[in-house]
Structure 1
Amino acid sequence: MKAFILKLYGKSDQFAFVDISRPTIKPDDILVRVHAVGLNPIDYMIPKGAFKPILKFQLPATVGSDVAGVVVEVGSQVTRFKPGDAIFASVFDSGTGTLAEFAVVPESAAAFKPDNLDFVEAASIPMVGLTSWQALKERADLKPGQKIFIPAGSGGIGTFAIQLAKYLGAHVGTTTSTANIDLVKRLGADDIVDYKKQEFEEVLQGYDVVLGTVRGDGIAKSLHILKPRSRVVSLVGPPDVAFARAREMNFLMKFIFGLLSRNIIRQAEKREVEYSFLFIHPDGRQLAEIGMLLEAGHIFPVIDKVFPFDQTREALAYLEEGRAKGKVVVKVK
């Protein structure tokens, strides 16, 4: 089968399409004929080597984590799926990849594809859906009537998280460019700051939750719009000691992450704000609940551009430019 492989860290020319054997599965895995793969920023960050100390990723390795396709084989212990089932999943941090003609998916990570979505639409959902779900419902415990700030509202995470927050009954603030104001309005955003004209920290106030999605000084600035006893859930770092403990890292990594997060945690504590770093974990049960919201029309996919499989390099480069409205998807079949 054909697969898109990363051979070495740190160099953009280390990607290659190669012919490899069709993968074998473990008793609790399913083998999926890949129809489409949703791309995420992590897919162009991993090759740079930024996550080497954290992820289960041994080179050479197939790139990609989101997938939608059809089950062609099931392991001996699989009970929820059978050959012919259409599924979608994230295999992030499982040691396998999805940018290939066939992909191995742990049964626990998969859910049935929503009937009202095609494979491209379904492939756009898993990572942004699970990240938003785990951040808003689990970590932030977002309640009806609370105010949440979700910057970069027209991006992959933003377009999903805004819709989920509105479904949960929250008041949503976001930032975007002038050209994307109508899009984030359609998604449900209440307070919209054109970042080319205004600084959000000078406009917004009285927020209960910030979802950190933008690198740089955005998280430190967001502390100024929060009420006391509020929360910042960061998807972009810095990682904290709690994250290192959860992944059972050694003392050195705990120490390093403690140093990296010390400054922002101190700033947050001064304003009575709780800071935490969130790293997505695949969860098929959560994805099934997200699928029900999609089938009911409470949330809809936002896709910027679809690339054919043989243009995967170009798709990753386009995503890295940071101008996509919603998701970038590679169509494999």
Structure 2
Amino acid sequence: MKAIRISEFGLPKVMELKEIDRPVPKPDEILVKVYASGINPVDLVVRAGSNAALSSLLSLPMTPGWDTAGTIEELGDEVTGFQKGDAVYGVPNFPGDGSYAEYVVAKASQFAIKPKNICFNDAAGIPLAALTAWTAMFEFGKLKMGQRILIQGASGSVGGFAVQFAKSIGAYVIGTASANNFDYLEQIGADELIDYRTQKFEDLVQEVDIVLEVSSVRDNNERIKSVQVLKQSGIFVSVNTDFAFNDEVIHALNKKNCKGELSANQAKKESLEEIAKLIESGQVKVPQGKIFALRDAVEAHQLMESKSVNGKVILQVREQTNEAY
């Protein structure tokens, strides 16, 4: 099968299209015939080798990719609840070989039936970002109807899903973003918006139940400001698990009897099923981005690094036929 391979860390050009053996699923795994693979910011970090902790988990050569949608080609002996030909979406094993390939194996528990009202290209842009938002808000943040949540970095792929998930359960959503993204965020349901470039959220927000940090900013001084806007016994959740809370942040949390959580993504079939229901019901929209062929992965990464594209960047591995729905 064809796959994008990395034999060394570095610039996008280290990615090469190669012919490798098709993987074989273990008893608890499925073999997915990949139609599309989403590209996430973490893929750029993996390729560059710029995060030492992450790189230590990787073995070269490897195939990148943390999002995929396709059909089940083969099932391991222990897999139940799926059958060959099912259209699915989910997250490949990590660390392991990823989804920039014609086939990928993964634990069946990390996949679910694809939302029926969208194509594979759109479905491939969902799993990692949506699961990151879902895990942070509902597993760690315990968000409930009627609560107020401040989402920092609301216009990103994770933030966009977070806004929509929060609105779907009846929460009040405040988001930080640049002003040029306000129209998009209003369309997907944000109740209040703060321009982080010209406004100080700590002067405008108070008494929120949850602060969700999904921006890429890693600054514990900013986290202290976030704790200040929480109500007593509130929850601060960050998806930046590689950046620990320092003593000052922990002290600020303790002073207000608040909880601080570093939210590690949980790839669960059950969460993907709930997300699929929201997409099929129209409560959650998938942001449209730019589509590249698998062979053009280098160009796709270059575009991602330029930060000049809105929506999800997708690698289309196969032609989208009627089988895509």
Give the distance between the partners of 1:320 and 1:232, measured in 2 at CA: 29
Q: Cα gap change, 1:331/1:219 in structure 2, threshold over 3 Å: closer, same or farther?
A: farther
SS class of match (2:38): strand
Matches within 5 A, 1:55-74: 56-74=57-75
Q: Cα gap change, 1:261/1:9 in structure 2, threshold over 3 Å: closer, same or farther?
A: farther
Give the distance between the partners of 1:321 and 1:219, measured in 2 at CA: 27
Is 1:228 aligned to residue 232 of structure 2?
yes
Structure 2 unmatched runs, 5+: 319-325
Using the TM superposition, name which of 216-225 and 171-180 deviates more. 216-225
Matches within 5 A, 1:102-121: 102-121=103-122
Name 2:206's counterpart in structure 1: 205
Give the distance between the partners of 1:213 and 1:321, measured in 2 at CA: 20
Name 1:25's counterpart in structure 2: 25
**8 Å contact 2:218–2:243 — kept in the other structure?**
no
- Residue identity over aligned pairs, in percent, reads 36
Matched length = 314
Give the distance between the partners of 1:205 and 1:303, measured in 2 at CA: 33
**8 Å contact 1:25–1:75 — kept in the other structure?**
yes
Q: CA RMSD in A?
A: 2.0
Using the TM superposition, name which of 53-62 and 102-111 deviates more. 53-62
Name 1:284's counterpart in structure 2: 269
Cα shift readout 1:234-267 (whole Å, capped 9, x = no counterpart) = 1114555xxxxxxxxxxxxxxxxxxx64343233
Paired amino acid for 1:266: H
Structure 1 unmatched runs, 5+: 241-259
Is 1:47 aligned to residue 47 of structure 2?
yes
SS class of match (1:32): strand
Q: Cα gap change, 1:50/1:283 in structure 2, threshold over 3 Å: closer, same or farther?
A: farther
Paired amino acid for 2:218: G
TM-score, normalised to structure 2's length? 0.90
Give the distance between the partners of 2:65 and 2:100, measured in 1 at CA: 5
Q: Cα gap change, 1:238/1:3 in structure 2, threshold over 3 Å: closer, same or farther?
A: closer
Name 1:255's counterpart in structure 2: none
Cα shift readout 1:108-158 (whole Å, capped 9, x = no counterpart) = 111011110100111111112211111111111111111111122221001
Name 1:170's counterpart in structure 2: 171
Give the distance between the partners of 2:111 and 2:4, measured in 1 at CA: 22
Cα shift readout 1:79-130 (whole Å, capped 9, x = no counterpart) = 2222211100112525231000111121111101111010011111111221
Give the distance between the partners of 2:149 and 2:19, measured in 1 at CA: 46
Paired amino acid for 1:230: G
Name 1:87's counterpart in structure 2: 88
Paired amino acid for 1:31: L
Q: Cα gap change, 1:220/1:44 in structure 2, threshold over 3 Å: closer, same or farther?
A: farther
Give the distance between the partners of 2:267 and 2:144, measured in 1 at CA: 24
Give the distance between the partners of 1:88 and 1:61, measured in 2 at CA: 21
